[in-house]
Structure 1
């Protein structure tokens, strides 16, 4: 049974509350009530129980000024958010807006986002704290072999404990401040899940690269073979990542992107000297005092994330959405137009450029929808819905095999996986799917016989 009311709320321990019905409105040092924790972690049964208690305050706010309803909404637990919302704050479905006087759209949390971790970035320079965390029994190591994570026989992500990897990680735990950490081992501090406790009392997460290379190649091989002998498997993240828990998937996204960035930046781009991992895997620096990179702050390399836009393009006069298809995609799948942000352009400009380059369509107004980390290897997708001002399709850069204006009925048929639908959708966990779904289902996108200046 849980040890306190907050842990019970976060973990869904109903038995604890049935035996401890008093003080459900008490707050922790961050102003969180049990209801906040239950809402944050999607514990519907606990929320329903707490709401029946006489001293339960639905409007109580934490130190960030958030109610339990707002916490649930932020983390994507829509059923709980609606249940806890005060009267007059319900969503107006056919318009897709919130009727509580706010100009802001609803929060959207795409797959690979919504991490449960507090990243504790200020710990990255604290060697004493990191030393304790590395060797803590609460530490969980996400292992990557050539960027392939470790899965168990149930196809769940497997996290090793300290005792299983101590032969490796102990080599980079300096006994004294002056001892340089071993640079042939890549270990990244990811953060702490505080559902069970704050700071070091929580569940600690690390990413450890066990690819058999470098000085300790043989030891890495032994470690990898040892895990394989226990019916565990290193396997490609796609498509397995889409079948695991969303919170765990977000940890995998962070781990995979960080390990990939580190392994791609092993040498200084200025002098070629091998770089040194710093700040628990979140910096790399050149040790060559004569290198040109030593001037200014250029001696440090920081984790790279490549910005990418993805856009659903709306027809200016008809109830249609433009989707494209690449030849390498499966079956009859069509998706949104996408492309990398280039130097010296805004993300809105990228939307307009990519729309024209890939489909020959000029777009004007651009509306932001949501974003999605995409750890293959380390991109951040910015999702948009944009209004076209021309309609003639021209596959300018030959990146697409085909581009089509699909009617709402055709899009809905694909969304509902109806037999005989004209095309198939991208996976439900992809931001492209969510963009298309938003256009198809939200009433605000329906054509309302507006006058047009579109150029046919």
Structure 2
């Protein structure tokens, strides 16, 4: 006579994965970059992080990232794009609004955060053994302007291209998260270049996390309807 088979879990303290199996990990999230939103409020830290030699930029053209011949995201340094965008965070929000000129060049530069990855382009170890975190930013390539010419020259020099990318499951998990975060913020900034109330030109501040409608152009009050 056979004995009834026991269905009890042999592990007295099972994990959820032991019971239900491995869960799904969100492909476009949980990347190596921590956003550190507090840095966006500190003009000095944001300016220093964005211009530091270790900072890495991912450039875009029409929301398509720069990629190498193997299809990986191609990051460039601040020196590679400095001539086209200057120091976007040299002034705080109040000073930017006071000096706002809608006819001037305002490239979309987004601060994504600090990379905590143990290897690759995001983190390095100095001669003293101290680990330096690298700032990761993205820059949208303008239809016209100096940044477009600079980015075109950089891409040609390193034989990379702004490849059409929308949903690409060939990117590794970490790079997919960086790409999706950057693309979403660039798209949001691009869609909000003009105020939805008065129609005036807007200004992106706080590392690309906030869009404001300056009350004046070159110090002269706007004659548009109030927002």
Place the TM-score, normalised by the shorter chain, in its bin. Answer: 0.7 to 0.9
The answer on whether the counterparts of 1:145 and 1:211 sit within 8 Å (CA) in structure 2 is yes
**1:178 paired to 2:95:** yes
The answer on whether the counterparts of 1:134 and 1:169 sit within 8 Å (CA) in structure 2 is no
1:224, distance to aligned residue in structure 2 (A): 1.3
Match of 2:143 among 212, 223, 227: 212
When residues 288 and 249 of structure 1 are mapped into structure 2, their CA distance, relative to the original with a 3 A threshold, is same
When residues 266 and 163 of structure 1 are mapped into structure 2, their CA distance, relative to the original with a 3 A threshold, is same
Name the structure 1 match of 2:14: 89
Q: How does 1:15-34 map to 2 (within 5 A)?
A: none
Q: 1:133 & 1:174 partners in 2: Cα distance?
A: 11
Q: Which string of whole-angstrom CA distances, capped at 9 and with x for unpartnered residues, describes residues 268-312 of structure 1?
A: 01111101111110010111277543xxxxxxxxxxxxxxxxxxx
Name the structure 2 match of 1:255: 182
Name the structure 2 match of 1:201: 132
Name the structure 1 match of 2:149: 221
Match of 2:165 among 237, 249, 258: 237
Give the alignment's TM-score, normalised by structure 1. 0.39
Q: 2:61 & 2:12 partners in 1: Cα distance?
A: 51
The answer on whether the counterparts of 1:151 and 1:235 sit within 8 Å (CA) in structure 2 is yes
Q: 1:281 & 1:127 partners in 2: Cα distance?
A: 13
* Structure 1 gaps, min length 5: 1-85, 98-105, 294-456
When residues 243 and 183 of structure 1 are mapped into structure 2, their CA distance, relative to the original with a 3 A threshold, is same
Q: Which string of whole-angstrom CA distances, capped at 9 and with x for unpartnered residues, describes residues 151-191 of structure 1?
A: 11221110011111111232424368836476621101001
Higher relative contact order (CA 8 A, sep 6+): 2
SS state at 1:149 partner: strand
SS state at 1:108 partner: coil
Q: Which runs of 4+ in 1 moved over 3 A?
A: 90-93, 175-183, 289-292
Match of 2:110 among 188, 192, 207: 188
The answer on whether the counterparts of 2:65 and 2:73 sit within 8 Å (CA) in structure 1 is yes
Q: 2:186 & 2:111 partners in 1: Cα distance?
A: 11
* Structure 2 gaps, min length 5: 1-10, 124-130, 217-223
Aligned length: 194
Task: Provide the aligned C-alpha RMSD in A.
Answer: 2.9
